[in-house]
Amino acid sequence: MANIGFIGTGIMGLPMAQNLVKAGHQLFLSSHHGTPPTALTDTGAQVLANPREVARQAEFIIVMVPDTPYVEAVLFGKNGVAEGTGPDNVVIDMSSISPSATKAFAEKIVATGARYLDAPVSGGEVGAKAGTLSIMVGGDQAVFDRALPLLQCMGKNITRVGGNGDGQTAKVANQIIVALNIQAVAEALLFAAKNGADPAKVREALMGGFASSKILEVHGERMIKGTFDPGFRIALHQKDLNLALEGARELHLNLPNTANAQQVFSTCAALGGSQWDHSALIKGLEHMAGFSIRDAKG
């Protein structure tokens, strides 16, 4: 059993933390942003005042928060993790944030004597609940080996990509692929429905061929049924694509399809949909077309 600090128990973090509890680990939570969920405290998780106190009690400190500034505040703000870390600690940031910021954060944590892994995840709420997340890890091999038993409580496909920052780079690449696949499925179903075909039947036919994908299977069904409760919110995918486009500018790369997907997400946000599931990208396309596939079923 390990003593684990877990900061960030939202849509993804809560089921991830629950899987650690199920595996027999002791959790320490912070109340600095509100009362932690009873789903954890009722099963033995201890609540402390702030991230610093969590770090003092835990060997491993896992951070799972929405964006780069949140991670920075948790780690280096007043009463932050860095004030409580030392040679016995491993900080594992499982948020999806800037690769360049991650490298800087790692250097500052290592300066306290602790070790650092960036370990963003893919697989959504379903994967978090099932403990089947894909986890992309950046950091030293020895630190990865030390943390692997914990990561295996939360995920199945766990890959050490390289050094600090490389896990986040892999996650940004993942988010490019996911966004473009969502856009491809949305455009295909919109085309089919506008041409008079039943989009549900088109999806069924495509699932048997080379166009089959998890996104066509899961998000294609969401698009057809109009079930856009998150899941993974459009606002967060916009954040990830911003990381991709900012990184591309630094590397003097042009990512035209990524930029286009971001524009469609921005259309959704302008329609009030920043909290919709990212499969609702189709609503941006429908708005531009003046046509909804859900009006064309059957």
Q: Which two tokens stand for residue 69?
A: 């500034």
Of these residues, 108, 156, 171, 239, which one is catalytic? Answer: 171
For residue 178 the two structure tokens come to 């996911």
Confidence of residue 295 (pLDDT cuts 50, 70, 90): confident
End-to-end CA distance of the chain: 55
Given a cut of 60, whether residue 298 has pLDDT beyond it is: no
pLDDT class of 297 with cuts at 50, 70, 90: low
Task: Note the pLDDT tens digit of each residue in 250-271.
Answer: 999 999 999 999 999 999 999 9
Domain over 170-289 is classified CATH 2.30.130.10 = no
129 is known as an active-site residue: no
Neighbours of 252 (CB within 10 A): 6
d(C-alpha 120, C-alpha 133), whole Å: 10
- The Cα–Cα gap between 267 and 282 comes to 10
CATH superfamily, domain at 3-162:
NAD(P)-binding Rossmann-like Domain (3.40.50.720)
Q: Give CA torsion, residues 55, 96, 31, 126, to 10 deg.
A: -110
If you average pLDDT over every residue of the chain, what do you get? 97
Where do the structural domains in the chain lie, given as residue ranges?
3-162, 170-289
User: Is 144:160 a contact under the CB 8 Å cutoff?
Assistant: yes
* Helix or strand holding residue 158 (H, E): strand 155-162
DSSP reduced 3-state for 4: strand
Look at the block and give the residue holding tokens 């329609």. 271
Contacts (Cβ under 8 Å, ≥6 apart) of 207 = 216, 217
As a whole number of angstroms, the distance between CA 184 and CA 216 comes to 9
Taking only the tens place, the pLDDT of each residue in 28-87 is 999 998 899 999 999 999 999 999 999 999 999 999 999 999 999 999 999 999 999 999
